[in-house]
Amino acid sequence: MIRFDNVSKNYGHQQDALRNVTFSVEQGEFIFLTGHSGAGKSTLLRLVALMDHASRGEVLVDGRNLERIPRREIPYYRRRIGFIFQEHRLLPDRSVFDNVALPLVVAGHRSSETQKRVRAALDKVGLLNRETASPRSLSTGEQQRIGIARAVVNRPQILLADEPTGNLDPTLSLEILKLFGQFNDVGVTVLIATHDLELICHLHHRQIALARGKLVDNNALAG
């Protein structure tokens, strides 16, 4: 489903953020991207989401070279992708419901369909009773769950998460990772960037390990 073929990414400084990275991810896989800060994990996720473009090599999703997608088609491609950020990026002046609904509003869904999908997503993350709340009134863990609900409300085929448990305690972190597992159970391809090896040892999923932009392990199992 996802393939990197000798991919490098340079942001204009001496060292590449990614260097000659090659790997593939099958549809429905659950993958941990591991490595210390600066290893290239975030860059890799951004390339899949077409938030950045490779400097060299090819990134393919379902056999399609992302560099060949016309600019006008990029928003449609991104509807297949759910992206969860460590810092949530919730709109503080909007309710929980409105934050989760935003991708559907942008995509032009009818109000009835939007309400149905938003409430289903909030129910999935256990926060249906907070739909009228302000994000400011939520705990850090609840804010992260709202970010997940927003990412999955469009029913994406691929779910990307960049250090989604970085601000959470170990118990909440494990709950969040198990929530990702529930989406994976229904066929969503999941890639999670994390440096917390102690946490992911509880979940037996494949690891892709990076160090200074280079792939150092492609087949290790967490745990």
The pLDDT score that the predictor gives to residue 25 is 97
Confidence at residue 99, expressed as pLDDT on a 0 to 100 scale: 97
Reported pTM: 0.93
Look at residue 74 in the predicted model and tell me its pLDDT: 95
Which amino acid does the sequence have at 67?
E
* Residue 220: per-residue pLDDT: 56
Predicted pLDDT of residue 201: 80
Positive or negative CA dihedral for 69, 209, 218, 183?
negative
Q: Is 155 exposed, middle or buried (0-12, 13-18, 19+ CB in 10 A)?
A: middle
Tens-digit pLDDT string for the chain (223 aa): 999 999 999 998 778 999 999 999 999 999 999 999 889 999 999 999 999 999 999 999 999 999 999 999 999 999 999 999 888 789 999 999 999 999 999 999 999 999 999 999 999 999 999 999 999 999 999 999 999 999 999 999 999 999 998 888 888 898 999 999 999 999 999 999 998 888 888 788 999 999 999 999 887 554 4
Residue 9 in tokens: 């990414």
Query: In order of start, what are the domains of the chain with their CATH numbers?
Result: 2-80+156-221 (3.40.50.300), 92-154 (no CATH)
pLDDT at 221: 54
Query: pLDDT at position 69, please?
Result: 96
Q: Take residue 78 and report the two structure tokens written for it.
A: 């991104």
Q: Which residue has the tokens 């709109």?
A: 91
Rounded-to-integer distance, Cα 168 and Cα 178, Å: 14
